[in-house]
Structure 1
Amino acid sequence: MKRLFLALGAVTCLASPVLAADPYPADNQLYQTSSLRGSIGLRYWYSQSRSDLDNSSFLGTGFDLSSTDNVKSHTAELVGTLEDTTTNAFVRGYVGLGRNVSGEADYLGVEMDQKDNTTLSYVVVDGGWQVARFAGGHARLKGFAGYQYLSDDLSMRYNSRTYEQSRDWHALRVGLGAEGDIGQRAGWSVDVAGVPWAHNKIQSWESNWAYGLEADAMLTANLTQNWQVGVGGRYWWLKSNFDRRYVVTGEKVVFDQNYHRYGLLLESSYKF
């Protein structure tokens, strides 16, 4: 029995340095820093729009179906981004809901007495990769592709009659973005996206083709390690073509729509 206790004691003494030296696996084996980072925030977009739906050669004189100008809008946005720093892939998006509160409108060549308030809503989702770093690693270039939905209806009144026009777009976006740091507490970002294809529906009319150009720019300041605020601007331009027929003669009539929206962005976001 005495020999058994001595043998067990010897084994324990030999094994204890090993156990004491590495009681747990190495940190990089058990705990790994997450490669995901992102942000979530709120934006306010004060914007203005103008649009024209017309034909330049109808019966040799041209014809203006509807147009708007100086349409001012207030919109709230929820925005978020998620990036994998291992693969440099990212996904981002924002959804906005707002109100068109003022503006001028013409319908069938007649200036409307009043333009009613209408809803403005949109969704944008992009995904892509970081393709390059420059300026000593303080700036990054990204490529992306995405989808956009936009709804911006019209409601106009003349005397006691109301004229309404629903307008919806489904668009593909392809573009480049750049972002970087300005010192320790500030940053900047610029995105430019082309719209090679879009589908535009106005009432029962459906576009034969549509395209456009969109751009965003933002300057940000870090108030804390995780909280930042920003100010910037945004511009959207979408053009659509509608092939129609004149009921009386059967003559082909082509209508074009030019839609412009631009304005000031304010942002508050939390980084994680």
Structure 2
Amino acid sequence: MQKLFWSLSAVICLSAGIATPSVAADAHQGPDGIYQTSSLRGSIGLRYWYSRSKSDLDNARYDISSTADVTSHTAEIVGTLEDVTEGTFFRGYVGLGRNVDGSTDFVGLDMDNTSQTTLSYVVLDGGWQFAQFANNQVRLKGFLGYQYLSDDLKASYRSVTVEQSRDWHAIRLGMTAEGDIGERVGWSVDVAGVPWSYNQIETWESDWTYGLEADAMLNVDLTQNWKLGVGGRYWWLHSNFDRRNIYTNEKVVFDQNYHRYGLLLETKYAF
């Protein structure tokens, strides 16, 4: 019996010694014994956009409305998600802010007061990386996206108040260049053309809208995951409205040019 006990103990110890490394390997390694890591990378952050805008809706004979030096303060939530193995990415940002001052002309009248109005927008882009240079220190990406923009106008002249709701739904088609400067500094530049957009001003609907948009950012790594950035943004959207003179039925084409530009400050967490 004593010999049987010691024989069984030896077999159990030997089995445990063989099995333990195998269990540990399965917990941390792939089927070929190579450590596996996720191919997904992303970030989430906050931005502040200090911007100014100007716009006009007119033609050679009629001036409907124009704004100038409209100052705005906007907060954004921004996020990105990319698959580094496939080279694909998805990103987006949502902004909500306030137009706080500026000047407005309406049908030739210099309005006494430009009221505060809401500025809001959503931008969603998806794309792929198609080239990289300098040992992946510089990367080029293409993207296709969608933008919604709402920037209303409200102004008064004496006892008369004028309001305009202005909304855009735009397609974005562009390219991103990004890279690294050393180990702690990164940069990115986005340039997007707007080949088509739907623009509505009150009951007027645009026949065609096109434009150009650009962003540039410089980021510094405070820690391995936490980053601070500074940059700039510019939006230009041009719309055409075909109308008819109510007295002569003559075709009248109005153009709207909308410009917005300003400084971006960003803080984000990468994961």
Q: How does 1:4-23 map to 2 (within 5 A)?
A: 18-23=18-23
Instruction: Indicate whether 1:36 and 2:35 are aligned.
Output: no
Between 134-143 and 197-206, report the one with greater CA deviation. 134-143
How far off is 1:184 after superposition?
1.2
TM-score (normalised: structure 2) = 0.92
Q: 1:230 to 1:21 in 2, by over 3 A?
A: closer
Counterparts of 2:23 and 2:115 in 1: how far apart (Å)? 73
State which of 52, 58, 62 in structure 2 corresponds to 1:48: 52
Identity of aligned residues (%): 67
Structure 1: tracts of 5 or more residues without a match: 57-61
- Aligned-residue offset at 1:9: 7.5
- Paired letter, 2:103: E
- Rounded to whole Å, the distance in 1 between the matches of 2:259 and 2:117 is 17
Q: Which residue does the alignment assign to 1:97?
A: 96
Q: What residue number does 2:83 align with?
A: 84
Match of 1:126 in 2: 125
Aligned length: 267
Given the alignment of the two structures, is residue 246 of structure 1 paired with residue 245 of structure 2, yes or no? yes
Displacement over 3 Å in runs of 4+:
1-18, 23-26
Q: Distance in 1 between matches of 2:216 and 2:94?
A: 17
What's the counterpart of residue 257 of structure 1?
256
Question: Distance between the aligned counterparts of 2:239 and 2:21, measured in 1?
Answer: 72
Question: 2:262 is paired with a residue of what secondary structure?
Answer: strand
Partner in structure 1 of residue 225 of structure 2: 226
Q: Any idea what the Cα deviations from partners look like across 1:157-199, whole Å, max 9, x if unmatched? A: 0011100010000000010001111111111000000000100
Q: Quick one: distance in 2 between partners of 1:263 and 1:16? A: 66
Shift of 1:50: 0.5
RMSD of equivalent CA atoms: 2.0
**CA, structure 1 residues 249+12, in 2 after alignment: closer, same or farther (shift >3 Å)?**
same
The Cα of 1:74 is off from its aligned counterpart by 0.6
Query: Offset of 1:245 from its aligned partner?
Result: 0.2
Deviations 1:94-121 (A, max 9, x none): 0000011111110001111111111100
Q: How far apart are the structure 2 equivalents of 1:110 and 1:232?
A: 37
- Matches of 1:21 and 1:221, distance apart in 2: 42
In the alignment, structure 2 segments of 5+ residues that lack a partner are none
SS at match of 2:23: coil
Q: Return the alpha-carbon distance in structure 2 between the equivalents of residues 222 and 16 of structure 1.
A: 47
Aligned-partner SS, 1:22: helix
1 CA distance for matches of 2:222 and 2:229?
A: 10
Aligned equivalents of 1:269, 1:238: Cα separation in 2: 29
1:209 equivalenced with 2:208 (yes/no): yes
Alpha-carbon distance in 2 for matches of 1:21, 1:63: 83
